[in-house]
Amino acid sequence: MINFRVNDLDAMVKQLEMAGIEVEVDEAEYPNGRFARLLDPEGNPIQLWQPKTSD
């Protein structure tokens, strides 16, 4: 699995979905951030990670 760190998970998911790409967003928020998963054209898993910010 490839893991990409993103600044704005919601914006990235919206952009991917607008391009016709199916994205599964994990609704849970973990101590280290939020996650989503998708598959590349060859079926390899990709994970998007938005780190938790220290507010």
**Positive or negative: CA dihedral 3, 25, 9, 27:** negative
* pLDDT at residue number 53: 84
Q: Which residues pair with 2 in a beta bridge?
A: 46
* pLDDT at residue number 55: 62
Q: What is the pLDDT of residues 16-55, one digit of tens each?
A: 999 999 999 999 999 999 999 999 999 999 999 999 987 6
**Beta carbons of 41 and 18 less than 8 angstroms apart:** no
**Beta carbons of 23 and 37 less than 8 angstroms apart:** yes
Assigned token pair, 5? 């760190």
Instruction: CATH number for 2-51: choose from 3.10.180.10, 3.30.70.260, 3.30.930.10, 3.30.2400.10.
Output: 3.10.180.10
- Which residue ranges make up each domain of the chain? 2-51
* pLDDT at residue number 54: 74
Model confidence, pTM:
0.88
